[in-house]
Structure 1
Amino acid sequence: MAGIERPTKSALEIFTTCPRESEVGQYSDRMRRTASLTQAAGFEGILIYTGNEVPVEPWLVAGELAQSHPTLSPFIAVNPVYMHPFTVARCIAMLAQRYGTRCHLNLIAGTSLADMSALDEADGHDQRYDRLREFALIVRELCRGDKAVSFEGKFFGAKHLRLPHRVPSDLQPVFFVAGQSPAAQQTAQTLSARSLGMLQGSMAVSPPSASGVHMGIIARDSDDEAWAEAYSRFPEKTSAIPQHMLIHNTDASWKKALLKEAEVISTPNDAYWLGPFLRGQLDCPLLIGSVETVARCLDQLIAHNVRQLVLELHDSEKDYMFAAAAIQRTKACMPPL
């Protein structure tokens, strides 16, 4: 294969993920490479993580991305513990006005228990989703800009609040809610937001209502080549902290459910592998196989009404090239929406 095969335009949106680096210089270098590879592949945008350990403010990364790669959409993780809804809405409006950028927001309600303790975060799991709903409602109404926003909630309030600039109708933000818990699903339903779920070994998605899936892909010309690369990249002996030791530092339902599945499916299952997740090397499942094998798996996801893929890809042209090829095979079979 020569060069990255750009997928034909379809209703399936592909996002990659920002690098997991703790040093600012390395993060910035790898982020620029990820952006170049993502754009060359013709994908939609990049998920930008947030958290205490992230070395760069996500909205600064989004601004740099909008300036350097204006065709890409920043998919920004947003947690109310870090920012007021007015500030988020103003950032969205600025990117829309300055660069013509449409933001996607990954609404999250938590972080590690240690980080929440450090932030003096006292609210419980379901309370944080109540707060997230209020937060997102204010952001949405400010971005719509139809009228001044007045809101009185348990966690947030506003009195005749307006943005200095409106967000154009075609650049309104797209909301996603991450999580599998009933509170997460209720939040997505209340906001009429899309739900971002996790891939299961049966090629189903949890929660079933999710339109987006977070996973990794390692594709090659043959199944054997793909698995050889996967075993080389994620060896059994690793310095990473295993997931069963990390699980006590989270109240995330999706992570606990995935760990339970990983302990049942401890060995590779066809194209689905949870070994790297179980060993703490990766935060999501992997699809592994030939271009044709991966394409068949993706077809099953499309049959479950999945329309967004958030992909953990190694920042090499080869990985992007083969992932794009598998997606291209799948998109050709997509029924019109």
Structure 2
Amino acid sequence: MDALSDIRFEVFSTCPQSSAVPAADYVERVQSVARWSEEAGCKGILVYTENSLVDPWLVSQVILQSTRELCPLVAVQPVYMHPYSVAKMVSSLAQMYGRRLYLNMVAGGYTTELAALGDATAHDKRYERLVEYTGIIKLLLENAEPVTFEGEYDSVRNLRMTPPLPQELLPGVFVSGSSEAGLAAAKALGATPVKYPKPAAEYVQADAADCTGSGIRVGIIARASAEEAWQVAHTRFPTDKKGQLAHKLAMKVSDSAWHKQMSDLAAETAAQDTPYWLVPFENYKTFCPYLVGDYGVVSDELARYAAAGYGTFILDIPPTREELVHTGEVFGQALTKARRLKSFALRDPARQGLIG
């Protein structure tokens, strides 16, 4: 196979949160964002799960009804339901819509929310549970015969999945988490680990072994000029004292490794002249870093991520259809640049330590 053909992007957008949209408008907003995402060429769309949000499976059905090919990436928290219920949802929606789903397996969350559900499981133990839980889901969906599994957290005996799931519709599995326990869980499951990236300039060729096959969460604001992009960025995400206090509170009630890692990065990158921007995260407006700048600068960053090995990108919630058009322009340029970087590295192995 041509080594350059290995470089490709699989892009997911993110569904609006019910807590941020008036109830009377929410279904219509989900439908709109899903259609924009499909028009823009996204593979799928992430649907959050949290105590404060409406059920992600019901939202996913709205997405399936409103689009032709877009694949919901459904966040799944083991404490919410038995693994059989997850497998049943996947097989039922596949039967009804003939669509593949993706599962974003989540072990963490705010400790206060987990405590409210009676779950006091320690951080690393939650990932052990996640491996067992996801393993049962996969066994049920992959096997036509009854499944028996005796685990530490869940057990099934002679359980058959009906309706059976066509093999071509087996779900893609992502594991959300940047900690050692999260990465180990993804490896054990053969799943795609989803990380929160560092600035692209910090990646070197030696990182490729850890990055290849992984995904990242990142927001993008790009325009033809950097001035316009930053104007849009500051208008959309102004500094907010209330948001900063909420961020500090969230830090106290979250034991997620990514939360601390991003907070540390925010302090390190605040004074740097870089498209990598964490002000929205620090003001509790979103939960991923942003890349801001003109098309050339932002596509350079994405190309460096691709050269480091990342191939899956989960974008933030798009505010408009137009925003996804700008994002599509950036990814088009980034793919060309990433292949050029790869070609250069193949021609000059002695300089493979340089990404960009």
TM-score of the two chains, using structure 1 as the length reference: 0.92
1:241 is displaced (CA, Å) by 4.0
- Give the partner amino acid of 1:197: K
* Corresponding residue to 1:108 among 98, 106, 109: 106
Q: For residue 15 of structure 1, what is the aligned residue in structure 2?
A: 12
CA change 1:237–1:183 in 2 (3 A) is closer
Report 1:287-302 matches (<5 A).
Answer: 287-302=291-306
Q: Name the Cα RMSD after superposition.
A: 1.9
Whether the 8 Å contact between 1:244 and 1:259 is mirrored in structure 2 is no
Give the Cα–Cα distance (whole angstroms) in 2 for the partners of residues 214 and 46 of structure 1.
12
Q: How many residues align?
A: 326
Structure 1 gap segments, 5+ residues each: 1-9
Aligned to 2:347: none
Q: Which has the higher helix share?
A: 2
Q: Following superposition of structure 1 onto structure 2, how do residues 28-47 of structure 1 map, counting pairs within 5 Å? A: 28-47=27-46
The one of 251, 274, 277 equivalent to 2:281 is 277
Q: Which one is further off, 45-54 or 322-331? A: 322-331
1-structure distance, mates of 2:184, 2:218: 23
How far is the alpha carbon of 1:253 from its aligned partner?
0.4
Which residue of 228, 234, 249 maps to 1:225? 228
Amino acid in the other structure paired with 1:115: E
Which residue in the other structure is 1:320 paired with? 324
In the TM superposition, residue 209 of structure 1 has moved relative to its aligned partner by: 5.6
> What residue is the counterpart of 1:76 in the other structure?
74
Cα distance in 1 for residues equivalent to 2:241 and 2:255: 25
Show structure 2 runs of 5+ residues with no match.
1-6, 343-356
Aligned to 2:250: 246
2:127 matched residue in structure 1: 129
- Shift of the 333–167 alpha-carbon distance from structure 1 to 2, 3 Å rule, reads farther
Distance change (3 Å), C-alpha of 1:113 and 1:269:
farther
CA–CA distance in structure 2, aligned partners of residues 317 and 204 of structure 1: 32
Match for 1:147: what amino acid?
E
**Deviations 1:242-271 (CA, angstroms, capped at 9, x unpaired):** 423320010000111111111222245411
Match of 2:214 in 1: 211
C-alpha distance in structure 1 between counterparts of 2:109 and 2:24, whole Å: 24
Q: Which amino acid aligns with 2:310?
A: V
Aligned 1:44-55 pairs, distance under 5 A: 44-54=43-53
**Residues 29 and 296 (structure 1), Cα distance of their counterparts in 2 relative to 1, 3 Å cut:** same
Cα separation, 2, equivalents of 1:204 and 1:40: 33
1:237 aligns with 2:240: yes
Name the counterpart of 2:261: 257
8 A contact 2:200–2:301 mirrored in 1: no
Of the structure 1 ranges 309-318 and 297-306, higher mean CA displacement relative to structure 2 is found in: 309-318
Q: Is the 8 A contact 2:222 2:326 kept in 1?
A: yes
Instruction: Provide the C-alpha distance between the structure 1 equivalents of 2:272 and 2:286, rounded to a whole number of angstroms.
Output: 15
Question: Secondary structure of the residue that 1:155 maps to in structure 2?
Answer: coil
1: CA distance, partners of 2:297 / 2:270: 21
Partner letter of residue 292 of structure 2?
A: I
Secondary structure at the aligned position of 1:239 is classed as helix
